[in-house]
Amino acid sequence: MVAPRSEPTPSRGNEEKHPRDPQPAVADAAPKAKHGSAWKAWLPLGVAIVVMPLVAYGVTTFILVPQMQKSLVATGVAPAKASQPAHAGAEAASSESQAQVGQRQSVVISKLLVNVAGTLASRYLLTSMTLAGDAPDFSSRVSKHDPQLRDMASGLMMMKTIDNLEKPGARNLLRGELMTGFNTILGNGVVQELYFTEFAIQ
């Protein structure tokens, strides 16, 4: 009969060399945890690198640039070319053509000879004048009413005495009165300037 074999009892030296606690597993888990925490630490930096350029582009395009354009237009430094519609060129061309139509025109009324009041027809006034205005039909309107304009001017100047004609500022006063009378005949504001090209008292 075979006696049962007894298992050798491990010595304390072997227990110290091979402990029961799974130390290798703990050692493997430590690098993994270290690797995961490093990735989490770099995540905000990566997000900032990607997001910040997009935020800067959006702020510049939609906030800063429109405000700068508005301020430049408001101060008159730069025209609002970007906001002009496509037909702005046609409008500019039409305004230029209107400006050409509204150019200043001049018409001469020459050799108005009248007796000076209070001189018993011994003194007379000889005048020539140029009328100017920017109405499109200015020349034709003045020519059409030439007899009325001459009659009004002659009647007005016949009422002037030598003292009226020789005192300081007499020509400017007479100019204003003639312009008022001419515009009454031609229409308000048609005659914008009046120049005496001849003004002689004899």
Residue 75 lies inside a defined structural domain of this protein: yes
Q: Are residues 110 and 197 in the same domain?
A: yes
The predicted pLDDT at position 48 comes to 74
DSSP 16-72: HHS-SS-HHHHHHHHHHHHHHHHHHHHHHHHHHHHHHHHHHHHHIIIIIHHHHHHHH
Q: How far is CA 128 from CA 69, 74, 121, 198, in A?
A: 55, 49, 20, 5
Q: What is d(CA 131, CA 105) in angstroms, rounded to the nearest whole number?
A: 8
Per-residue pLDDT of the chain (202 residues; tens, 9 = 90+): 455 555 555 555 444 444 555 555 545 555 555 556 667 777 777 777 877 777 777 777 778 777 777 766 555 544 444 444 444 444 444 444 444 456 899 999 999 999 999 999 899 999 999 999 999 999 999 999 999 999 999 999 999 999 999 999 999 999 999 999 999 999 989 999 999 999 999 8
Do the beta carbons of residue 110 and residue 199 sit within 8 Å?
Answer: no
Q: What is d(CA 45, CA 95) in angstroms, rounded to the nearest whole number?
A: 59
pTM of the model: 0.50
The predicted pLDDT at position 44 comes to 77
Residue 167 lies inside a defined structural domain of this protein: yes
Number of separate domains in the chain: 2
Q: What is d(CA 68, CA 72) in angstroms, rounded to the nearest whole number?
A: 6
Residue 37 lies inside a defined structural domain of this protein: yes
Q: Which domain holds residue 29?
A: 23-79
The predicted pLDDT at position 106 comes to 94
